[in-house]
Structure 1
């Protein structure tokens, strides 16, 4: 018995059975006509076509892929320790590097799904997995097949599975509602930002005129629509190469992934060579707007620190040459990015990039200086209120998720009996 499962007390009529005695390992293949499946940590086994975040390439010979039947248990060997496993509801194919296990008649597949993905069993599966540098763990069939499985009578397994299906569905419905509320609040912020830069927050009664900007209909009559290059100078950062990565004069620099909307993630910044000319050209100073040239094009934040820090070529530094409010420009970029203004300019067959020339040519609504300050203040205040509401909702989602996991662990281990349902 392992230390992880030693603490589990066997209820009457339950027993520990080696996993390999409850399932048969299947190597069935030669069905390239079946749809490919994926195994995700959050959902288990799903049709590959239902998710857009699986970036693994399919093999060239699908006839070698393993056939999965409804009720089969599938393990992604390298992600089992994290929960990369589950019972399939679908017929399909998975990589030949996976384990496909067909439960015997003494096992309810749904019970096995809940049991193996419960906290005690994920801990045990982590323990028997073998570390593979730099960050993977592999599990061998010989080790998996002897993991002791809590096996109540088959009727009890079905009763537990039915109860957990019902309870987890109820919890998931609540989580979905909370997440939808978060989405609506985030949409509310986007709407407020757009209303702000269009003058609807500060000049709702002003006469309006058609905007000479494709993604805006009207703006207050007293607004301008200058191209960005009229009031700013732009600069791309330094390109990373092998000599810069290992040369002298190493300084920290910001890359694309360090720039988030309205803030910077400055943990574990990389370094590269910046000579005297590089440092003059690529230095950041308070008030600079740092804009992503690729990735989420237009994502930006205003630099406010005095640190000696520089930036990579994947970023634009936008520096005002006249008196203006950098955060107002950031909110203009925010609205344009959320409306996919930069994305539609790119060639859809290639990755979209925002060149310095294109960035300078963009026009934005431009109110007088004092109104820029008021707009930014109103947007910031609304964002602060929304952020607090989102934090509360995220806390509720976390508590519900923890409740779901605790419920599953207590029921599948027999610690908590299934409540009797009054008829």
Structure 2
């Protein structure tokens, strides 16, 4: 039996108990994993050294990240702990099953209700852009009709089991993707090592004619449109890939440094990025005009003895990637820097143009074969995510009776 429609705030209490001297484990809310110990997601220290203002949550409380709740950053805590003071901690009432409420919050219908109530879009506070978030008053004002406690538990049990099955299938597809990445890396390393073993190595400095960098003027936080000047961000480079859309628009009236405009055939290397991506190298191909280097990207000029594609291919190998990560330095693990002196020392197989071209072509063919499989795996992951969402929404909105759904493959029977 379903109760009359009521405001959501009548089914829980908002808990605002601060830690003070109490210091249980620090928790975080993950979109994919719910409420988990923060240490399982990151090694970074919390932003605040003093955690006394953090909120306490107890086992069974629902924790909601107000900025990312509409993306699924909600979960039921399985332990007592501390959460960010900006999170919402909700304690379900005696007639409400926490797991059911958690599933309801993640349903497509409820996400739409939350999204329509987000506050802070486009506004500023103390000169900074406010991040959209759900306010507790607006959340509590959403009207819902909950079934009986017994039915809530039956629905929660059903969804826990079915979602666990879907998540296992997703995990297998993600493992396939990891294996594809590992195979590509292994093939590349084997090809580079074979050349280096037969012909030896030489440092990149042997082929250098010069290097330059751009500048990083104050830009707008949107990409430049066609015909507009833009400054490339470090995210425009991934190992072996150049992504020209990753740029920021130069404001009207600002004078572009035309000597920093990138051109077809340029070899670019990031000098600043995360430790995993610093030193990312790629060759610019088919680039539009009016894109500028930033001061965080090297443009390297080479002698005719070596091709930029060969350098970019070898730079994707694990040896140079490890050198970049090991030699990088910075104030935090979120941004690391390398010096060009370290780039000059990159070891390259000492081979001529024919073997350089052969390596690039073989690796390109191998990469294309693996790249053809990746969209298929991603499509399977997308379908599983759609089924997961459709199943949750159908169950909590009463589109089917879970007591008759058990024992059949409901993930195939629910429309996404």
TM-score range, shorter chain: 0.7 to 0.9
Shift of 1:126: 1.7
Distance 1:382 1:274, change over 3 A: farther
Q: Within the alignment, does 1:127 sit opposite 2:127 as a pair?
A: no
Shift of 1:307: 4.4
Distance 1:139 1:310 in 2: 38
Q: Are 1:41 and 1:84, in contact at CA under 8 Å, matched by a contact in 2?
A: yes
Distance 1:198 1:417, change over 3 A: same
| CA shift digits 1:49-85 (9 cap, x unpaired) | 111287861362x333221011111223333333333
What is the count of residue pairs matched by the alignment?
A: 383
Distance 1:126 1:306 in 2: 37
Aligned counterpart in structure 2 of residue 383 of structure 1, from 349, 354, 367: 367
Distance 2:139 2:188 in 1: 53
Q: Which residue of 2 aligns with 1:49?
A: 39
Shift of 1:393: 0.3
Q: Which residue of 1 aligns with 2:89?
A: 100
- After superposition, residues 290-369 of structure 1 pair within 5 angstroms as 290-295=268-273, 296-305=277-286, 307-308=288-289, 309-336=291-318, 339-347=321-329, 352-369=336-353
Q: Are 1:22 and 1:103, in contact at CA under 8 Å, matched by a contact in 2?
A: yes
Q: Are 1:287 and 1:304, in contact at CA under 8 Å, matched by a contact in 2?
A: yes
Q: Which residue of 2 aligns with 1:109?
A: 98
Distance 1:284 1:100, change over 3 A: closer
Shift of 1:328: 1.4
Q: Which has the larger radius of gyration?
A: 1
- After superposition, residues 204-243 of structure 1 pair within 5 angstroms as 219-220=197-198, 223-241=199-217
Shift of 1:135: 5.7
Q: Which residue of 2 aligns with 1:262?
A: 240
Aligned counterpart in structure 2 of residue 195 of structure 1, from 182, 190, 204: 190
Distance 1:386 1:53 in 2: 32
Aligned counterpart in structure 1 of residue 171 of structure 2, from 154, 161, 176: 176
Q: Are 2:215 and 2:293, in contact at CA under 8 Å, matched by a contact in 1?
A: no
Distance 1:140 1:316 in 2: 45
- After superposition, residues 269-284 of structure 1 pair within 5 angstroms as 269-270=247-248, 279-280=258-259, 282-284=260-262
Structure 2 residue matching 1:24: 3-state secondary structure = strand
- After superposition, residues 244-255 of structure 1 pair within 5 angstroms as 251-255=229-233
Q: Are 1:65 and 1:93, in contact at CA under 8 Å, matched by a contact in 2?
A: yes
Distance 1:13 1:145, change over 3 A: closer
Distance 1:225 1:386, change over 3 A: same
Distance 1:286 1:21, change over 3 A: closer
Aligned counterpart in structure 1 of residue 140 of structure 2, from 142, 145, 148: 145
Shift of 1:356: 1.9
Distance 1:268 1:194 in 2: 28
Shift of 1:187: 1.0
TM-score w.r.t. structure 2 length? 0.83
Structure 1 residue matching 2:67: 3-state secondary structure = coil
Distance 2:384 2:307 in 1: 42
Q: Within the alignment, does 1:410 sit opposite 2:394 as a pair?
A: yes
Bigger Cα displacement from structure 2, 411-420 vs 262-271: 262-271
Bigger Cα displacement from structure 2, 180-189 vs 50-59: 50-59
Distance 2:246 2:361 in 1: 32
Q: Which residue of 2 aligns with 1:371?
A: 355
Aligned counterpart in structure 1 of residue 52 of structure 2, from 36, 47, 63: 63
Structure 2 residue matching 1:49: 3-state secondary structure = helix
Distance 1:401 1:168 in 2: 10
- After superposition, residues 2-13 of structure 1 pair within 5 angstroms as 13=2
Structure 1 residue matching 2:347: 3-state secondary structure = coil
Structure 2 residue matching 1:304: 3-state secondary structure = coil
| CA shift digits 1:18-74 (9 cap, x unpaired) | 2222112222334532112112333332211111287861362x3332210111112
Structure 2 residue matching 1:340: 3-state secondary structure = helix
Q: Within the alignment, does 1:23 sit opposite 2:25 as a pair?
A: no
Q: Which residue of 1 aligns with 2:28?
A: 38
Distance 1:118 1:190 in 2: 39
